[in-house]
Chain A
Amino acid sequence: MKICTSAMGVIFRREFSAYFATPLAYVFVLIFLVLSSVFTFYLGGFYERSQADLTTFFNFHPWLYLFLVPAISMRLWAEERSSGVIELLTTLPITQLDAVLGKFLAAWAFCGLAIVLTFPLWITVNYLGAPDNGIIIAAYWGSWLMAGSFLAIGCCMSALSKSQVIAFILTVVVCFLFILMGFPLVLDLFTGWAPSILLDAIAGLSFLTHFQSVSRGVLSLHDTLYYFTMIVVWLAATVYVLQVSQD
């Protein structure tokens, strides 16, 4: 299947502006900003650490995304199915890949916007001290990549169902599994009997494993590659699901 950039672009523009046609976008951005500040300043003990950096802020991102990203992705395909718009979209001269990419990129750009809007925090730490801004930029980038992986999973789950509620729950569960896989608690279940290759593979698939280094500002090519692979694989799965469910 070829990608037609212009068709993808048209879908992207429609989807992106659709976020602002309803209060959804504003509510989402507001919740994201409030929660990330609450997490950072209260739960994260930002002041106690008396260190001017954003490590605590980024450490909470996987947990924030766990509930906020599915709220964005749940409607991507489930809504088209229940409203019947999918029939229109399928009979327009665009490929499913164009539609999947256009919708995904719009959602990802929207997440990026929400992330960028946390810049007052960044200004605050720069006001309070002298953080390493290179680290912060790398962590922002890593966080956005992780949001993309969550979204790609959500995209696929949304394609599976007509119901946005089901899409939301499925996405939370799958994303939670991908976070959990990096926890010692889960890995302990396998240590002892499973070959260490499997152990490494499980830990290596986890969002958390890859995000730990990222939140400290160490963004290796390896981690970037991991997130892009996740995105590609889940979007390919979305196209597959859409094709299979057509008949």
Chain B
Amino acid sequence: MTTRETGWRRDRLGLRVWPHRGKVAIVGWGMSPVDRRWDGVSMDKTLGAYGILAIQRCLEDAGVKAEDVDGLLVCPETGAGATGGSSADWGPTRPYFAPPYDSEWGLSRLNAKWLTQNTPGLKNVKYAPEQVPAIGEEMGMAAEAVATGRCKVALLIYGMNNFEGRYRQGGQNEDDHARGDRQWSAPWSTADWLQLSGAVYVQQYCQKYGGTWEELLGPIVVNQHRNGLLKQPSDYEGWGYYAKNGPSGLTYEEYVNARPVIWPSRIWDCDRPCHSVGAFLFTTAERARDMRQKPVYVMNHNEGSARAQRSSQQVLEDAEEGRAWVAKMVYEGSGWRPQDVDIFNPYDGYSMFLPLSLEAFQWHGVKKGEAKDLVKGDISVKGPHPFSSGGGNLGNGRTRTAMYIDSIQQLRGTAGPRQVRVKAETAICAYAPGVAASYICLANSPS
């Protein structure tokens, strides 16, 4: 099967409460070490080796044998190539090694075939789609696969690779010409639409609602780093780049004085590309009851959907409207209201996404223009408003797994030094921003 299955997606209003709400659970997670990039020689640190390690840690966490896994969802896009950058050219030209490292599979990329061939005991996989989307949609796809009986015990694998070279410089970004849709932006602008859009709408936000960029985003970025360092021995190496490799914390002054990238965004507004693999185990709520861990039930998933932007550049009103639409779908499908959400781990590839997601979901009653007020108070995990308790990608490196791991731990009550002091019975976590965002709603009770 090479076409992507899409019938399972929940991407529009009017779908009502997810029919499988509370009938699927996440029963395990595992995470490899988080490195900056592979060193090119250590065969125990390839993306493949880290994938196997993440699977073993996940199964150990769940108390499930590899032989019991019958579903395997692996996103093959690990950040290598595709959108420019030296990676696009480097991969195919390097010398390879003896099997299983005789191609990019296992070195910088992962798929179900490579992992089933190389992970001990993983021999009863019956459901392993080739076309698997990135982690946010992958979560929804795994939940649906279990809910609809395509498999009973599903492993979800998500790896991130980071090649040598400046991030996404090179490739098509070296082209002197602006082709296709790029003819409407590239002559004047630069390539990362998400980053420059954030620079636009956050400045408009400050113009409209008051305050400065630094006052709005500084406390958020510092909080992400603080949360990313709050790890415990049972967190392996720390499931975060900074927890394992430092630096040990970021101050407001360091944030403000950091070098600009797309000004006013600074280097600390951007997540740091890393080399890591995360694994999550899904099964039916019925099976989950007898497993090692307290089940974390899936209450809804939502995939958002790209909508054509109004003009050359998305502006604040577009960003607010798109996010409000996504939040409405997420709440409709979960049957929740904003006051029902305890843990909120939105996506932060760039810090600029966070205040708008906070306001769109009205977490802790925060409405349009009010994120700037919330961040003036205590948003740490010790306080009354533990915003983004996992530390996200900014506080952990770009693993894209922190939001999910933290939410699972908070609902189990095993987050250790990160455990919030307020109620932790429900969680919303995300991958990707704006209208393309994918959300999953989790709870420690199925009803």
- A-B complex is real: no
